[in-house]
Amino acid sequence: MDDEGRRLAEMSDDEWAKRMKRLERQLKRAKPPSSPGRRSSPERGSSPGRGKVLLGVGIFVVAAAVTGVGLVRHHDGSTRNAAETPGPSQSTGASGPFDGTPARSWHNATVGLVMPPAGQAGPYSAATVKGALARARAYLLTARTAPAVLVRHDLNALAALATSAVSRTTLYPTLLAPGNTLAAPVRVSGSVTDSFEAATEEFSEHLSVTGNLIWAYALRATYAVEQPQPLLIRHEHIKLDFYLDADMDGPQAAVYPVSDVETVYSMDCGYANDRLLGLPRVNDPDREPAAGGSTKGAFDPEQPVDRPVRGCIKR
């Protein structure tokens, strides 16, 4: 583990919260005036449901959420249309867990997660939109990279960023399985967009933030691992909504997680069934006999995240 990875892994909840606040302060502007009279929370019946485990693909959706895994064992070198961004400088001759993959050139998540330029969205000013995007960024970084969430499974900081109307089971956190620790800081690539959604019979008007993101987790396991490269790739389509009114501008707006659809590559089936993220054990109890696969499309942002993939036994 390099110095930055060790520092992130040992960071306390308070230190992580301060880090998130610094990121938000860098992005948000002064509090803008907001138009009064808008409803600030979703209509009744709009809360997403708890996920279930299904064979082959991880899918988290509102009211019919399911989760699973794309079981992948061998890297086939296919990186066409890979989601690459200009990455950190690499030391000559240095070897790292991301080498040989497109993630080698990606930035660490705290730099690589880039929000779209903020502009006027319906009745919301650019300043209000920018504040909401900063809040969405803090939420995603906390859910996917915070040591408190990943390692200690403490969701308090994540829940504090979300609306109270959302249950803790639909915060969509990433939780490392027992025996798994970060070997390097999490990296990310992909895109985030925002849009204004007009009021309907079911929902008040709101700002919607959606992400097509690919997260790369370099892990170290205390148990025997099947594949030689300890790298997990998590591709997700996530939707976060913001209900904004006169009493809740962007930076203070609570996140309403609507849905998260995912596929995870090089994943342990048993841990996936327990909604945990972990490297595949050689004695994975929920793996189908002789299951195998390919990493083709793992780094491709255009790859569907809800396609069926064989490999895991549902329980």
Q: Is 131 among the domain residues? A: yes
Give the pLDDT band (50/70/90) at residue 230. confident
Compute the distance between CA of residue 280 and CA of residue 73 in angstroms, rounded to an integer.
9
Give the pLDDT band (50/70/90) at residue 289. confident
Q: What is the average pLDDT across 298-307?
A: 87
What pLDDT is attached to residue 307?
66
Q: Is 51 among the domain residues? A: no
What pLDDT is attached to residue 314?
80
Give the pLDDT band (50/70/90) at residue 167. confident
Indicate whether 21 pLDDT > 80.
Answer: no
Compute the distance between CA of residue 188 and CA of residue 199 in angstroms, rounded to an integer.
33
Q: What is the average pLDDT across 143-164?
A: 95
Indicate whether 236 pLDDT > 60.
Answer: yes
Q: Is 282 among the domain residues? A: no
Provide the pairing of β-strand 66-67 with 52-53.
Answer: parallel
Indicate whether 131 pLDDT > 50.
Answer: yes
Compute the distance between CA of residue 286 and CA of residue 258 in angstroms, rounded to an integer.
29
- The pair of structure tokens assigned to 61 is 């959706």
- The pair of structure tokens assigned to 176 is 């490392």
Percentage of the chain lying above the pLDDT 90 cut: 50
Q: Is 89 among the domain residues? A: no
What pLDDT is attached to residue 53?
28
Indicate the DSSP class of residue 177. Answer: P
Q: Is 205 exposed, middle or buried (0-12, 13-18, 19+ CB in 10 A)?
A: middle
Q: Is 312 among the domain residues? A: no
Q: Is 234 among the domain residues? A: yes
Q: Is 122 among the domain residues? A: yes
Compute the distance between CA of residue 71 and CA of residue 55 in angstroms, rounded to an integer.
10
What pLDDT is attached to residue 141?
98
Tell which wins on pLDDT, 228 or 127.
Answer: 127
Q: What is the average pLDDT across 99-106?
A: 94
Q: How far is CA 50 from CA 27, 66, 172, 260, 307, in A?
A: 32, 8, 10, 11, 20
Q: Is 137 among the domain residues? A: yes
Give the pLDDT band (50/70/90) at residue 87. very low
Domain count, the chain: 1
Q: How far is CA 38 from CA 123, 175, 205, in A?
A: 10, 36, 8
The boundaries of the domain holding residue 173 are 3-31+56-82+98-273
Provide the 3-class DSSP secondary structure of residue 44.
coil
Q: Point out the least confidently predicted range of 66-70, 140-144, 198-202.
A: 66-70
